[in-house]
Each structure stands twice: as structure tokens, then as C-alpha cells.
Amino acid sequence: MKSQALHGHLDALLLSVLEGGALHGYAIIEALKSRSGGTLNLPTGTIYPALRRLERAGYVESEWSTVNGRERRTYRLTAPGHRALAGERASWQELSSTVGRFLGTEPPPAAAT
């Protein structure tokens, strides 16, 4: 898939991955890859700047942990990050239902639940 399409939603993906617990950058990349079934194979040059962006925004915090003599920067979701994730979820749903209406992928809105 042309990953460029992620535009604007990478942050949401990162936040959602961190929702399941703190991870370091490399592990985040692998989590994205495995949870997407290999579809999201994002390069480090995409992830690290994004993480720093999120940190600047206050949505994640990071700290260095020395594991196996390796410096790992572990990222953790903050409270604002949780809220941001909720907002991202909402706007993703809005986007996907809106675009879906045009591209014919509209998931049945009520449908049981």
C-alpha cells in the first residue's frame, strides 16, 4: 500500500499502539507491522520524527532505559495523549464514514451493536 496515504493518521496509529503499553521506537515499528499483518512496514525515518512530534505535543513521554547495554528510548502515553487518541479515533470515524459514503465502503452505521 502506498503509505503516503497515512497522512495525518500516523500519529493516531502510534498513539493506539502505545495504548497497549510503553514501547521503544523499534518495537513500535514491529508492533505496527505485526498488528497490520505486514501492511504497515514503516521505516525508522517515519517513526522517529513522528514520535518526537508527539512528544513535543505532549502526547507521549520518553525515557532512556539501558537494556542489554543498549540505549532504548521508551515511549509512554500521557494523559493528554489518551485524550488525543480519543479525538483521533473520533475524527477517523468521521473521515472514514464520510469518505466511505463516496467510495462505497460505508459500514452500516446502526447494524445491531
Partner DNA sequence: CCCACATCGGTAGCCTTACTACCTATGAAG
Partner DNA sequence: CTTCATAGGTAGTAAGGCTACCGATGTGGG
Q: Which residues bind DNA (CB under 7 A)?
A: 3-4, 6-11, 24-27, 42-46, 48-53, 67-74
Full strand arrangement of the beta sheet holding 60-67: 23-24, 70-77, 60-67
The answer to whether residues 51 and 14 touch, using CB atoms and an 8 Å cutoff, is yes
Type and span of the H or E element at 23 = strand 23-24
Return the SS3 of 102: helix
Work out whether 110 is an interface residue with a second copy (CB under 8 A): no
Smallest distance, Å, CB 68 to a second copy? 29
Q: Which listed option, a second copy, DNA, none, makes contact with residue 56 (CB within 5 to 8 Å by class)?
A: none
Residue 96: how many CB atoms within 10 A of its CB? 15
Q: Which listed option, DNA, a second copy, none, makes contact with residue 53 (CB within 5 to 8 Å by class)?
A: DNA
- The site for a second copy (CB under 8 A) is made up of 1-2, 4-9, 12-13, 16-17, 35-36, 39-40, 88-89, 91-96, 98-105, 107-108, 111
